[in-house]
């Protein structure tokens, strides 16, 4: 979306391809963009039958994408990885429309791996070994303008957090983050000893059971539980530390200059979340807990110690900010415009 905003600001017309059952079906129209839908799903590599059905569905979706391109006549197609980008990118190649790809993780995902050789440019979030020729460029990962423009005082006023208080943001709304959601409630609402505020983005799937647990918890003061936020601007601005997975959202953390305790999703493709977490940790911007080692007791100890250690927290905050590439959306938009025929 951030790249779309930059392209629109440059005078380009932008539309999206997506699926009806994912969040883009809401976010894209709400941002004022048109969207066309493909029927496609992710490939389950552990089940051959499901993988074959998904592959057949992807080929059919490429045909749908070709019909969309025939109607819209795009000058360039931008693929963001994932199961929609595969059919869309294939359609672009077949229609001889210039293709630009973006990769959010520390390795090329399946769609980008298959399409990279036919793309004009591949915009990387991280340097990737073996991907150094002129086709590849490290741009960073785009972040929403709301993250870059958020005001800390206004955000804290919104959440009722005192200016001098410490605050933890729990990002439990991503795929496979149930273990984080449940441990956070257990560690910080059902156990005593917390002396900081907490904003918990639980995701819609887990929100209702967590809401019931929080209401019954003995230490639910200064604990804001939300199902969803349309952007992370206020949440990141208000907090001092983030607890979450290590997907592409780590770039929003660095753009906001926020340190993190990361729990990589253990079933992420090719272990890419472990690589993402290692990138932040190596820079001194994050601590890492393996998912199988995550307990309420360990979480309470590590988070509390970190929030009470002002010097360490300040050093991690500076390290996170040093990793930021806030102009990533503009860099990618420039490559897209350059590839347009």
- 3-state SS class at 252: helix
Give 76's contacts (C-beta < 8 A, 6+ positions apart): 97, 98, 99, 100, 336, 337, 339, 340, 341
Residue 293 confidence (pLDDT): 96
Instruction: Report whether pLDDT(319) > 80.
Output: yes
Quote the CA–CA distance of 167 and 247 in Å, as a whole number.
Answer: 22
Residue (of 63, 89, 62) closest to 76 by Cα position? 89
Q: Which helix (H) or strand (E) holds 341?
A: none
Q: Give the Cβ contact number of residue 272 at 10 Å.
A: 22
- 3-state SS class at 280: helix
Give 293's contacts (C-beta < 8 A, 6+ positions apart): none
pLDDT in tens, 119-160: 999 999 988 888 888 899 999 999 988 999 999 999 999 999
Residue 175 confidence (pLDDT): 60
Residue 147 contacts residue 256 (beta carbons within 8 Å):
yes
pLDDT in tens, 16-39: 999 988 888 888 999 999 999 998
Quote the CA–CA distance of 77 and 279 in Å, as a whole number.
Answer: 29
Instruction: Report whether pLDDT(42) > 80.
Output: no
């Amino acid at each position: 979306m951030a790249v779309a905003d930059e392209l629109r600001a440059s005078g380009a017309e932008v539309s999206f391809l997506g699926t009806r059952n994912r969040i883009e079906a809401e976010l894209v129209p709400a941002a004022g963009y048109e969207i066309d839908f493909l029927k496609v799903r992710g490939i389950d590599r552990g089940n051959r039958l499901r993988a074959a059905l998904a592959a057949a569905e992807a080929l059919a979706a490429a045909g749908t994408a070709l019909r969309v391109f025939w109607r819209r006549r795009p000058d360039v197609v931008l693929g963001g990885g994932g199961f929609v980008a595969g059919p869309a990118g294939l359609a672009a190649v077949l229609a001889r429309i210039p293709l630009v790809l973006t990769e959010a993780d520390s390795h090329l995902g399946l769609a980008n791996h298959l399409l990279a050789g036919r793309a004009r440019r591949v915009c990387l979030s991280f340097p990737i070994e073996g991907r150094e020729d002129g086709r590849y460029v490290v741009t960073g990962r785009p972040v929403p303008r709301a993250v870059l423009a958020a005001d800390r005082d206004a955000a804290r006023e919104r959440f009722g957090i005192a200016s001098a208080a410490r605050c933890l943001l729990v990002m439990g709304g991503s795929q496979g983050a149930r273990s984080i959601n449940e441990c956070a409630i257990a560690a910080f609402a059902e156990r005593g000893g917390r002396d900081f505020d907490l904003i918990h983005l639980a995701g819609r799937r887990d929100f209702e059971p967590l809401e019931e647990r929080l209401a019954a918890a003995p230490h639910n003061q200064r604990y804001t539980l939300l199902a969803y936020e349309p952007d992370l601007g206020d949440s990141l601005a208000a907090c001092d530390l983030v607890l979450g997975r290590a997907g592409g959202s780590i770039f929003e953390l660095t753009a906001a200059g926020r340190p993190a305790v990361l729990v990589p999703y253990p079933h992420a493709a090719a272990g890419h979340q472990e690589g993402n977490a290692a990138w932040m940790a190596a820079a001194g911007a994050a601590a890492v807990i393996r998912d199988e080692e995550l307990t309420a007791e360990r979480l309470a100890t590590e988070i509390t110690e970190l929030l009470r250690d002002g010097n360490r927290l300040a050093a991690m905050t500076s390290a996170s900010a040093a990793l930021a590439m806030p102009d990533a959306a503009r860099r990618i938009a420039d490559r897209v415009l350059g590839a347009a025929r």
